[in-house]
Amino acid sequence: MIEGQEDVTWDDWVALAQTAERSGFDALFRSDHYLSVMGRTERGSLDAWSTVNALAARTETIRLGTMVSPTSFRHPSVLAKSVVTADHVSGGRVELGLGAGWLEAEHRAYGFPFHDTRTRMDVLEEQLQIIRGQWGDGPFSFDGEHYRVEQLDALPKPVQRPGPRLIIGGSGGARSVRLAATYADEYNTVFPTAKFCRELRERLDDRLPLSIMTGVLVGADGTEYDARVKRLEEWSGSADVADAWITGDVDSAVEQLKELADAGVERAMLQNLLHRDLDHVELIGREIIPALAP
């Protein structure tokens, strides 16, 4: 999982996608932000779904998606159409992570509305209904508090049926869990401990897979790991890594990921902040992915 708003260029994206695909990663996800979440205003971001569409034409097997797209950035009909376009370009390899949005500064900067939490969740629910409706078979219309959609049908339909995998991002609150059970194919939470995942797994619908997004910083050995810690400090301004991150040498990283799997986590989106360190990507693909294979 790459934080695209932290100055990830198009050349960076191509190199990351090709390296990840070659290294055996199942998927490449990107954040959907327009401003640096680190407060680094000199860093820019390419649009998330434009990037996914472009990468879909430059890759062959790796799945692509957002983690997660804020509902405030795009009208749901536009978002649904952007995802369908990427689904066709990729031959059915895209996934949509959707959330209510949280970074108020980028909303002010770009002129997006930033409502209170309850309203943002209301908007999220309406967008879920509209996106599912437009991906479904037959005509669809919708008349809600925030959106009104009138159409005979939305064509073409996605390659993947009944639609691309739809992931709800949340922190385990009652409403996001309910929305996921009703509309989603997966529930994702960020930077969790194994204990939190175990508790969350008990609250989720049995059919709903649980995934996580968490930081990753690993090395083949202690020396390589320490070097990456130093590079992270230079890039982000801090060498602090959260307890929930996957860190250390390869054996330690594998042990941490297995503990999360035992807690009910079915897949992990590993947030790689050192996006130009392709050796880091290759190490995970070469040493960690095979160690976790069934």
* Domain ranges for the chain: 10-291
The answer to whether the CB of 77 falls within 8 A of the CB of 46 is no
Q: Nearest Cα to 135, choosing from 157, 112, 167?
A: 157
- Span 10-291 CATH architecture: Alpha-Beta Barrel (3.20)
Indicate the pTM of the whole model. 0.95
- Separation CA 271–CA 36 (nearest Å): 15
- Separation CA 170–CA 48 (nearest Å): 19
Length of the chain: 294
pLDDT at 43: 94
pLDDT in tens, the chain (294 residues): 999 999 999 999 999 999 999 999 999 999 999 999 998 989 999 999 999 999 999 999 999 999 999 999 999 999 999 999 999 999 999 999 999 999 999 999 999 999 999 999 999 999 999 999 999 998 999 999 999 999 878 999 999 999 999 999 889 999 999 999 999 999 999 999 999 999 999 999 999 999 999 999 999 999 999 999 999 998 887 766 778 899 999 999 999 999 999 999 999 999 999 999 999 999 999 999 999 988
pLDDT at 237: 79
Q: Is residue 136 classed as helix, strand or coil in its secondary structure?
A: coil
Q: Is residue 189 classed as helix, strand or coil in its secondary structure?
A: strand
The answer to whether the CB of 108 falls within 8 A of the CB of 121 is no
How many of the other CB atoms lie within 10 Å of CB of 89?
Answer: 20
DSSP 70: E
- Separation CA 162–CA 165 (nearest Å): 9
Going from the C-alpha of 156 to that of each of 85, 159, 161, 270, the distances in angstroms are: 9, 9, 12, 33
**Amino acid (one-letter) located at 81:** K
pLDDT at 243: 81
Q: Is residue 107 classed as helix, strand or coil in its secondary structure?
A: helix
